[in-house]
Amino acid sequence: MAEIVLDNVSKRFGDGTEAVKPTDLTIADGEFFVLVGPSGCGKSTLLNMIVGLTEPSGGDVRVDGESVNGRDPKDRNMAMVFQSYAIYPHMSVRDNIAFPLRLAGLDRSAIAERVERVAELLELETLLGRKPAELSGGQRQRVAMGRAIVREPVAFLLDEPLSNLDARLRTQMRNELARLQRQLGTTTIYVTHDQTEAMTLGERVAVMHQGRVQQVGTPREIYERPANLFVAGFVGTPAMNFLPGRIRGDRLVLPMAELGVPAAYGDPASDDGRAVIAGIRPEHFGDAALVDSSAGCRAEFSATLDRVEWLGTDQYVYFDWPLETSASRGALTDTLDLDQLRGDRLRLVARVGVASTAAEGEALRLSVDAAGISLFDVDSGDRIEPRHR
């Protein structure tokens, strides 16, 4: 196990591309830490700098307080598992797991003992004599994990290890990875573009975008208090709704309703109030007929439903809302994708619960909860916190 510290680490390639901007991170000893973000955001490059496959352009990588810059990957005592299983097709499961130990020169009895222990941990005991072609995708990935575990490294580095599996196997392997990490207690850094993997596996999560870490926190902190518009829109399924708004005194004016907010959000210097972008997750809307209107600060409005999704345990409704001014559209253009911003209308989604009688093409009375709204600056996109008094 090890504490891993990135001190102002960056990577600039020869063509001038800045893949990773100066980054400071501390991964605690024994922590399950996740790097998540869209393709090309720099997360795999950051992982490669930690393991030594890529040399940083600047900054320092330290393991237990000791710099490992310039040290070969084999000398860092870290084990890496890739998206492709990278196991030898001509070798048995036993020989694949034992391979790094044979390279290290361990004696046969020590190798056999470790392989048996790891096979038991991964429930591969009955498969040790098989070749990879005889295994399922999930079993092959367990073999790749076994080859990493058997080395007893100070850290596991996993780069999109579940991407090649189908949805059912991904769920199964997520549970197995979480169990293994708790059992082994080894520092683990996990790279993924899948927010579900990030939120279910990570003790802490770093969200990356365009080579920069946007926010680091627990899954709950990132979901409930996103640092900026990118994090707010990236984390959550369905995605957070974004609407133009304006704070006037202690009121938040949205296109479809007004709600009460703390006056400390306002801007006393503006006669017209402060322009903001309001972020509302689908669960902070609701079917007004099923919501206690006396609970918290809520407002109601009616919308004609364009689409209804019934998922058994949940029900989502989709509806459009007109944007009245070009200024409103301009503030949202860089934030929303084309499916959310449709000319002069916003596509919004609400979770209304399975008891709702929502029907496509019909009007539904909806409520919105002020307590669940996040506010963002229209220029910087950063989260707005109330001013201290």
Residue-wise pLDDT for 24-45, tens only, equals: 999 999 999 999 999 999 999 9
Neighbours of 25 (CB within 10 A): 18
293 pLDDT tier (thresholds 50, 70, 90): low
pLDDT at 99 over 70: yes
Q: What mean pLDDT comes out for the span 136-144? A: 85
Among 147, 4, 157, 184, CA closest to 78: 157
Is it the case that residue 264 has pLDDT exceeding 80? no
Q: What is the pLDDT of residue 317?
A: 97
Helix axes 108-121, 93-103, angle to 10 degrees: 130
Averaged confidence pLDDT in the chain? 89
Min mean pLDDT across 3-12, 30-39, 76-85 is at 76-85
Q: What's the pLDDT score for residue 50?
A: 96
Edge-to-edge strand list for the sheet holding 58-63: 18-27, 4-12, 58-63, 66-67
Sheet holding 345-351, edge to edge: 307-310, 315-322, 345-351, 341-342
Within 10 Å of residue 214's Cβ, how many Cβ atoms?
19
CB atoms within 10 A of CB 84: 14
CB 329 within 8 A of CB 288: no
pLDDT value of residue 139: 86
Decide if pLDDT at 327 tops 60. Answer: no
> For 267-283, how does the pLDDT look when each residue is reduced to its tens digit (9 = 90+)?
666 657 888 999 999 99
Q: Which residue has the tokens 């938040």?
A: 252
Q: What is the pLDDT of residue 340?
A: 76
> At residue 366, does pLDDT exceed 80?
yes
- Identify whether the C-beta of residue 244 lies closer than 8 Å to the C-beta of residue 275: yes
Signed CA dihedral, 89, 94, 97, 101: sign only: negative
pLDDT band at 389 (very low <50, low <70, confident <90, very high): very low
Q: Residue 329 has what pLDDT?
A: 57
Asked which of 106-115, 199-208, 322-331 is least confident by mean pLDDT, the reply is: 322-331
More confident residue, 146 or 3: 3
Asked if residue 298 has pLDDT above 70, the reply is: yes
Q: Which domains are seen in the chain, by residue range?
A: 4-233 (3.40.50.300), 236-377 (no CATH)
Mean pLDDT of 306-310: 95
Confidence category of residue 351, pLDDT binned at 50, 70, 90: very high
pLDDT in tens, 164-199: 777 887 888 888 888 888 888 999 999 999 999 999
What would the mean pLDDT of 105-128 be, rounded to a whole number? Answer: 90
pLDDT of res. 83: 73
Summarize the confidence of residues 17-21 as an average pLDDT: 94
Residues 194, 37: Cα–Cα separation, whole Å: 8
Percent of the chain with pLDDT over 90: 58
Question: Quick one: pLDDT at residue 296?
Answer: 64
Q: Sorting pLDDT into bands at 50, 70 and 90, what band is 18?
A: very high
